[in-house]
Chains A and B, each alone.
Chain A
Amino acid sequence: MKGERDQLTIAPDGAPLEDQPKWRQDFPIDWPQDHYVSRRDFTKFMVLTSLAFTVGQFWIVVQNYLRARRGQLPLLKIADVHQVSVGNAFAFAYPEPHDSCLLLRTGEESFIAFSQKCTHLSCAVVPQPDKGRFYCPCHVGSFDLTTGAPTAGPPRRPLPRITLEVRSGAVYATGVELRMV
């Protein structure tokens, strides 16, 4: 196999092995083979990355299935109507104890509630009723106070809305409405 044999010790300058310094003659590096092996190993690593992305994709499928199986969220009393004055906010947790939310009284009879987690990186948003917005101090994002829609900064999705029910002088949370726009 003359062709294969000739290719075995190609130096970076392409000159034959006899013209190379002695150290290279003693320890020749097979550059084409070296390039081949490094690209092949990188290809293997990329296929492994592809596997990781597929696993992540199916992790979302499983999480979505579990979320759908949970069904209707529980009814939770947030506060009595008289506890929240008009224009003020009231913090509560729903549906889990670590899911902080904000209840706002926008009028005598009107209430609105949103999740307090910014849809960018989950920092807690701060209500600023005088500016008509929820403000996220982490990356200077803001959301409309009445709709929860993003108005500035990096967030692209609106704040999840907490559906409410007012009965017998108390405000109850009945569910969470996730939204894309």
Chain B
Amino acid sequence: MKRRFSREQRLTMIYGILCIVLIIVMLQLWLLIATMNAYLGGDDSIILPAGLASLVCLALNAGLLWYVFRMERQR
């Protein structure tokens, strides 16, 4: 059985999701700056792993957004 959330519950959940998304986006920003610094300094050892880590962060964010959409469909 699919669970339906009240408006208060949905508001609390969206706050939680927004906090997690913000933390991940800040992590990605830090990753981008560090990678750019390494690239300009000629250190190419971290460039691909950092790209993959950023992709994982995007997947997490997209998953959370998908959860928000699914939550709205169940209203």
The residue from A32, A42, A54 contacting B7, defined by CB atoms under 8 A apart = A32
Total B residues in contact with A, Cβ cutoff 8 Å: 40
B10 near A57: Cβ-Cβ < 8 Å: no
Specify which chain A residues have a CB less than 8 angstroms from the CB of B28 in the assembled complex: 50, 53-54, 57
Please give, as numbers and ranges, the residues of chain A lying within 8 Å of B7 by CB-CB distance.
4, 7, 32-33, 36
In this complex, how many residues of chain A approach chain B with their Cβ under 8 Å: the count is 35
Q: Are A180 and B48 in contact (CB under 8 A)?
A: no
A-B CB contact pairs (8 Å), 8 listed: A3-B6, A36-B10, A46-B21, A46-B22, A54-B55, A57-B51, A58-B54, A60-B36
Interface residues of A (CB under 8 A from B): 3-4, 7, 32-33, 35-36, 39-40, 42-44, 46-47, 49-51, 53-54, 56-58, 60-61, 63-64, 68, 119, 156-157, 160, 177-180
Q: Which residues of A contact B65 (CB under 8 A)?
A: 43-44, 47
Interface of A is mostly: helix
Contact: B48 with A53, CB < 8 Å? no
From DSSP, what is the main secondary structure of chain B's interface residues? helix
A44 CA to B61 CA, complexed, in Å? 9
Given known contacts A43-B18, A61-B47, is B11 in contact with A32 (CB within 8 Å)?
yes
Query: Which one of A35, A43, A157, A180 has the greatest number of beta carbons of chain B within 10 Å?
Result: A43
Assess the A157–B37 pair: CB atoms within 8 A.
yes
- Among B22, B42, B47, B64, which residue has its beta carbon within 8 angstroms of that of A180? B42
A176 to B, closest residue via Cβ: B42
| Pair B54/A53 contact, Cβ less than 8 Å | yes
